[in-house]
């Protein structure tokens, strides 16, 4: 599973021209944090400048690789050691946080990310990245203004909540090499008919409750109790079936989107 996301601010998140991060992109970063994943922005800027571009959001800067690796922040505190590149800075940060290489996702865009993108198995660059970054990344996604970054961050956050690999790492045979390297397997899609059982059971319980009540098998008060309990149980089963059907449809759509996305972005 992914435990740490290293993300380039200037090219990948769209702050290259000194404009603050779009509020919508900031919300997607928060989804990653709320999913329990560590987030570390990377930039050539110092902490004050980075914080300004993050709209003053300290929560997104608790871990960071700043000044192209010359300053590394871990758990809100700068590390004593100085590094000479984003790759070295990322390694120092991973050591401090106790994160393994296979638990890191790099979303790069700047030329300074190229070495890091080559070193990390789960490396992604946007299509509007520098040529160096694109040539070193294993996966390409549309740029931040085309929604590719938001979709990727949502994918990572949702997968973490389910304890799974992101969809772009769980695609079909088009990325078999990457799956083999990471040891990940594509999950089975939910069975299409699994929700029918509680739906039918709920309808059967409700129908049986009415039959018993109308047959005068029990006295009026006891019959009313049987009907009430039957209705509650039947409705609960019916709602369970509807929920399972909804979740199954969402899972199938997500799996299909993941396969389609991987076919589009996998080189």
Please name the residues in contact with 5: beta carbons below 8 A apart, sequence gap of 6 or more.
Answer: 32, 37, 38, 39, 40, 104, 105, 106, 107, 153, 156
Cα Rg of the chain, angstroms: 25
- Residues 231-261 have pLDDT tens digits of 787 677 767 777 777 766 665 555 555 444 4
When divided into structural domains, the chain yields a total of 2
| Same domain membership, residue 66 and residue 97 | yes
- Residues 87-146 have pLDDT tens digits of 999 999 999 999 999 999 999 999 999 999 999 999 999 999 999 999 999 999 999 889
48 is a domain residue: yes
Section 63-70 average pLDDT: 95
187 is a domain residue: no
Instruction: Identify the pLDDT of residue 165.
Output: 85
| Same domain membership, residue 98 and residue 125 | yes
pLDDT band at 188 (very low <50, low <70, confident <90, very high): very low
Best-predicted range by mean pLDDT (15-29, 157-171, 234-248): 15-29
| Same domain membership, residue 252 and residue 151 | no
Tell which wins on pLDDT, 219 or 96. 96
Section 151-155 average pLDDT: 92
The domain of 220 spans 196-262
Which CATH number fits the domain that encloses residue 176?
Answer: 3.40.50.1000
From CA 62, how far away is CA 122, in angstroms rounded? 22
């Amino acid at each position: 599973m992914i435990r740490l996301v290293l993300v380039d601010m200037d090219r990948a998140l769209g702050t290259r021209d000194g404009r603050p991060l779009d509020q919508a992109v900031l919300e997607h970063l928060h989804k990653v944090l709320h999913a329990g994943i560590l987030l570390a922005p990377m930039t050539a800027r110092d902490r004050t400048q980075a914080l300004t571009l993050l709209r003053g959001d300290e929560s997104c800067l608790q871990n960071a690789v700043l000044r192209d690796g010359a300053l590394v922040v871990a758990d809100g505190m700068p590390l004593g050691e100085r590094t000479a590149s984003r790759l070295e800075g990322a390694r120092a940060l991973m050591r401090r946080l106790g994160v393994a290489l296979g638990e890191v996702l790099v979303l790069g865009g700047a030329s300074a990310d190229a070495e890091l993108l080559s070193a990390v198995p789960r490396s992604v660059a946007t299509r509007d990245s520098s040529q160096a970054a694109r040539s070193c990344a294993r996966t390409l996604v549309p740029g931040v203004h085309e929604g590719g970054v938001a979709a990727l961050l949502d994918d990572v956050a949702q997968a973490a909540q389910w304890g799974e690999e992101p969809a772009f790492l769980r695609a079909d045979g088009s990325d078999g090499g990457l799956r083999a390297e990471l040891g990940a397997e594509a999950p089975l899609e939910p069975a299409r008919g699994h929700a029918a059982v509680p739906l039918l059971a709920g309808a059967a319980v409700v129908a049986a409750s009415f039959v018993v009540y109308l047959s005068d098998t029990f006295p009026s008060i006891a019959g009313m109790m049987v009907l009430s309990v039957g209705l509650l149980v039947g409705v609960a089963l019916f709602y369970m079936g509807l929920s399972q059907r909804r979740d199954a449809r969402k899972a199938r759509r997500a799996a299909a989107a993941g396969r389609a996305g991987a076919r589009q972005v996998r080189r």
